[in-house]
Structures are given as C-alpha cells and as structure tokens.
Amino acid sequence: MFGLFLQRAIHGRVLSNAVDPSPRDFQHSDQGEGGYSIHDKQHVMNLLQYAGRLYSLDTLDTRFTTSSKTPPSRVDPARPLPDEISNKKGRSGAGELAKGATPPRWWSAEFIYHGLVVLVAVPLMFKTAYDVSKRKHASLSHPALQTDIDDLASHENYHKFAPLLSPGWIPGRKVDNSDQQYATFRDNVPYLFVVLTLHPLLRRLFDSIYNAAPTLSLRPLPSGSDSPHGSAPESNIADRRMNQRISFDVGFSVLFLLALHGFSAPKVLLILYINYTLATRLRREYVPVATWIFNIGILFANELGKGYPYGDIASVILPWSASAKASVEHDPQTNWGNVLDSYGGLIPRWEILFNVTVLRLISFNFDYIWSLNRGASSPVEKKQLDPANLSERDRVDLPAQPEDYSFRNYLAYALYSPLYLAGPILTFNDYISQQRYTPSSITRSRNLLYGIRFFIALLSMEVMIHFIYVIAISKAQPEWQIYTPFQLSMLGYFSLHHIWLKLLLPWRFFRLWALLDGIDPPENVVRCMSDNYSVFAFWRGWHRSFNRWIIRYIYIPMGGSGGPGTRGKWGQVRGIVNLLFVFTFVAMWHDIQLRLLVWGWLISLFVLPETLAGFLFPKKKWTNHKEAYRLICGVGAVGNILMMMSANLVGFAVGLDGLKGLVQGIVGSHSGLVFLGFACAALFTGVQVMFELREEELRHGIHMKC
C-alpha cells in the first residue's frame, strides 16, 4: 500500500510541477522560500519529472498508452506522456475529465484516513517479517556468547532454517538464496550480463562483415502523406534486413543452445523438426489436433522421461548382458550414454525450461495454418496498409508472406536467444514483422529507463532476501503454531512478493535483452502484486504475454465469453467452463503436479464469486450511487484478494498442507479472528487506493483492463 501512495505522490508531483513550470514564480528573486534558489527548485523538479518518466506506463511498455489498433506511424517516440498532455489541457482550463472518470479524492477526509492507515500498517508489516527472520542479541560482543549466537534466536524455528541461509554481501546479514528457481537466475546474473553485452556486439560485427542492409525503422509519415504500402525498394531493404538478422539469429541460437544444453541440444532440435513436419506435411484439417496432441504429449513425455538421458537410451537400443548392466553401475563411463550425459552444458535439465518453447511451436503451427486460410491475396495490400507502419494488432493478426514460413525462420523464432529461456512470448507473425521493420517504440532513452527499472527491482529483491527469510522458513517446515496470526499472515504475504519478484526479474532481463536487439515483446508484469483486487484483472496483467497467447490460441477458438452461442446465462456458463479448461492447461504447462492442478481449479472456482457479484450488482444500475457502489465493490475486492492469496500460496509457495497450517494459525483462536478483522479493514484501505489509482489513469486518458 505504501508503494501505491508513493506512486501517486510521484505521479501527482510530476503533473503539477514538471509539465508546465512557470518562471513567474521566481522572476522577482533568485532566492525561493526557505532559502532555496531557483536552480535548487528546478533541480528537484527535474528529478521528480525523471522519476515520473521512469515509472510511467509508457516506459514500461508503449502498448499500455497506445491502442493496439494505432499504427506506429502516428506515435512519436519523443512525445510527452498521455498524462502530461491531459494535464496541460487541465491547467489551461480547456480540458475535461475523461469519459466515466470521477473527480480526484486524494485530499478528501476519507483518503487522509487511508493515508494514516498506510503510514502505520506498512512499516509494521516489514518489521514483523523482519522480526521472525532475525537473531536475538545479534550485537553481543562477548566472545564466548558469540559462539552460541544461533541458540539465542528470536524464534524457536531459527535453528531449523538457519542452515538454508548463505553468506550475504550486505554487512552483518545472511541471504536467503534457498529458492532453487531464483537461485539459478541469481547465481548466473554476471554471465547473463556478459552475454547481454556480447550479443549486440557480435551482431554488429556480423552485419559489418556481410555488409548488412541499413536498419529500416518505423518512421512517422509526413503530414498529409498516406502511403498505402511500402515501395518496392523499401520492401527489398526490409527483406534483406530480415534475412540478414535471421541468418545471425540461427547461428547464434544454435551455439547458445549447445552452450546451454550440451549434447542434449539435438533432442531439442529433433522435437522442433517433428513439430515443423506436422505443420507442413499433414493435411490442413489435421494440423490443429495433431499440434495439440504432440505438444501436450511432449510436456508429459519430458516430465516422465526426465529429459531422455542418453544413458537410458543406450541401455534400450544396445541391450547388453545382465553382467554388463552391473558393470555400468560400478563404472558409468563404460556406458557411452552416460558419457554424453556428463556434457550437459550450463543447464543439463533442458526439459524444465522447454515449456516456453512449446508455446512458440504451437504459435508457429497455428499462424501458418491460419495464413493458408487467408488465400493468395496479400492482406496488407487488400487493406491498403503500410507494412512499415503496422499497428500491433496487425503485426499479430496479419499473416507473414508464404515464403516466410520456412524452416530457417521457424528455427530462428523458436530458438531466439533473448526470449528462449523464459519469454516473454512473441507470436511468429509479430516476430517476422519486427525482423523486417524496427518498431518505433524502441528508443535509446526508453531502453535506458527500462534498464534502470530492472536494476531497481533487482536491488529490491536483494534487500528483501537479506532481511526477510520467508522462503527458508517455509522450506524448514516450521511449527506454525509458535507464530502469531500477524506473523503468519506476513510470512504468506512476503512469500507471494518473493514469487512475484523472482519471476519479474528474469522476464524483464530477457525483455531488456530483446529490446537492445531491436525486438519489442510484450511486457509480462503490468502491476505490482499488491496492486490487484480482481481475479480477471490479475490474470490479464500477470504473465501478460502468456495471457495474450492463451486468448489467441485457446480461449477465442473455444468460443471465449462472446460470439454465437455464448450470450446470456448459458453463455456465462460456457465462458466459465472455458476458463476451467484454460486454467487446467495453464497448471499442466507450469508443471505436472497435483498442487498446480489444485491451483488452476481454485482460480477457476474463485472466478465464480466475481461473476456472481457482477450479476447482482451491475454497474449500470448504480450510476446515481457511485460512492455506495465503490464501497460495495471494496468489500467484494477484499474477499477476492484473500481468495487469490490462498490459491497462489497453494500453487507456488507452501502447498495445500502449508496453507492449512497458516489458516489454522490465523483463525484458530479468538485473537486470530480479531486480527483477521483488522487485516480486512487494512485491505479495504488498500483496495480504495487501487480504485483511485485506476481512476487517476482514466482521468489522463489511460484505460487498462487490469
């Protein structure tokens, strides 16, 4: 909640001072109030303006401030932010509130109260999580006592999770690096930055050697110009640019794959080849079913086969005698398969991260099949579009040229190095379009700001795992009953924040790499984990590129929540059934485990209260009672937050048994129920701040569905 108020403070200060500073305030004297000079105030103003741009939606992803239907030619990369434009209108008296927006409430008595709640609650939340992670009397100076410091823990469980802690770089603090998934990323950050530096340098060297075509950027069309499509010379340059870039991508990606997986790289290439063969050799009507069967089968086969070790393959295709098997157990080097397995690269278990590649394989197959259904005519020429200035929706929806669906392009797309390990997910059509024409959204200043935001997020994670050891505490299987209800709730809350940051950081790092390489994939994380109150909105804004992929390749083909046969009551039922199927696939895609299936089903179940509330309290019937409607929605949102926290704790943190322990510790006593009441009141405050932040976006022309 404190972060939400800080966001508002920066945002509001930038709007009031940074957009249209008036020199008349200082024209009579070089000395301002309190002894500050004009230059001091301008310096502060510039810092606030820079902070506002750093945390603007436009810096995060221009898709948030520009309609997906807007051609890039009409988007000036150097334009002011949408809220700045709106603010200038407001200051001049010519502007009005955006349609549907309400007047600001920030300085009302209600929000002054909310601000006081935030000032008290948020520091207490951090202190509580810190207290259950620290050692008591850590400053004891007596040498004899220092040897027994671990026996003086502030909680009985410290001796259980202390072995899971590692030496940290912050003086006097250990680090909780016990989460294996994040530890893999954290330990390899230096090497990733080496690759991040070498990749663009090698591309420049490659381009200079082969005399690559000049970059053809998306340029704003001159005033009055309405070119229907690119000229022949420009089209030839674009084709040369794409071929040049893909030639480099294929070579670098294969080398990158060998470095990552060693002798397991041929397994990946074989799966890619089989999938491509299914798309291009089967009859058109069989491809969709074959694609789903093959790729879902691969998810299960990878899990059950554990990556198909060569040692197991060798024992099958070369069945030696029973005595030979015994000798292999004593000397693994006698099995040639074990020798190959010993050279597994930097990530020997390639199957763990292959799930992201599966999404790209499905994307290629369906984009290819749908392109065949479009006929021989070019949609770009048919719609009189400029291929160099397509909107984002056109880049995704319009098929590439028939010759673009080659195996070489497919290989470059499926193994594109910046996005290979973790995404974000980019469709094949969009990838090919951006290989031809550099998006205008990519600028040096925006890349710099995005990189700074990544480093701030990385530093935030480092501070948290040095001072709050929630993952180690959870892994130690503690005795939950020794914690107070407040401590238990904070353990769960900060566990979810750890999950949020450990996924956000790899996603933003690899997206930053792609941006520096001239490819603009969608941003995966729209809002902070604590800035969500709706199940539907959370799903739209969390792992956003995967959500868009789900909508394009699963939800809409199944009928979605609209269209023929999906209207009215039964249409809503069908939409919920579709959601159940979607979240079942999402759970299996993450990992084939029961707790993730439970997570997917819980998410589908928790959609029902929000859907039912929409029926009982339709917004259009409360247009004359907006304040009452806002308070009613706030109560429902508190329930939504509690349900979403429970589902995500089951799926990605403590599991079902751990959640039972947390819940029993919180509501199993009278004091726990009293705490739960105060916690719901604090959540209600947070929800009202979330509502107002979205109203603030709406007042400045930004309408997001999350």
DSSP string, 297-342: HHHHHHHHHTT--HHHHHHHHS---HHHHHHHHH-GGGSHHHHHHT
Cα–Cα distance, 307 to 268 (Å, whole number): 10
Whole-number CA gyration radius for the chain: 28
Query: Which H or E element spans position 158?
Result: helix 158-161
Cα–Cα distance, 526 to 545 (Å, whole number): 11
Burial code (b: 16+ CB inside 10 Å, e: under 16) for 138-152 equals eeeeeeeeeeeeeee
CA angle, 626 as apex, 622 and 627 as ends, to 5°?
Answer: 135
Residue count (the chain): 706
Q: Which phi and psi angles does 606 have, rounded to 5°?
A: -75, -10
User: Measuring CA to CA, which residue among 336, 516, 386, 387 is closest to residue 442?
Assistant: 516
Which residues are bridge partners to 37 per DSSP? 31
Strand, helix or coil at 528? coil
User: Measuring CA to CA, which residue among 259, 250, 251 is closest to residue 195?
Assistant: 259
Check: CB of residue 478 under 8 Å from CB of residue 160. yes
Question: Helix, strand, coil shares of the chain as percentages rounded to 5?
Answer: 70, 0, 30
Residue 562 CA to chain centroid, in angstroms?
27
Q: Which of 590, 625, 700, 703 is catalytic?
A: 590
Is-catalytic flag, 590? yes
User: Measuring CA to CA, which residue among 208, 188, 206 is closest to residue 196?
Assistant: 188
Q: How many CB atoms lie within 10 A of CB 440?
A: 21
Task: Look up residue 296 and give its two tokens.
Answer: 């879902």
User: Measuring CA to CA, which residue among 519, 510, 554, 518 is closest to residue 363?
Assistant: 554
Q: Which residue has the tokens 């690096």?
A: 177
Check: CB of residue 153 under 8 Å from CB of residue 478. no
Check: CB of residue 266 under 8 Å from CB of residue 427. no
Cα–Cα distance, 684 to 124 (Å, whole number): 17
Task: Look up residue 602 and give its two tokens.
Answer: 């819980």
Check: CB of residue 513 under 8 Å from CB of residue 423. no
Task: Look up residue 629 and give its two tokens.
Answer: 């409607």
Query: Which H or E element spans position 587?
Result: helix 568-590
Cα–Cα distance, 706 to 686 (Å, whole number): 16
Cα–Cα distance, 285 to 306 (Å, whole number): 32
Helix intervals (H) in 653-669: 655-667
Q: How many CB atoms lie within 10 A of CB 300?
A: 11
Q: Is 214 left (phi over 0), alpha (psi -120 to 50) or beta?
A: beta
Cα–Cα distance, 192 to 518 (Å, whole number): 18
Active site residues: 590
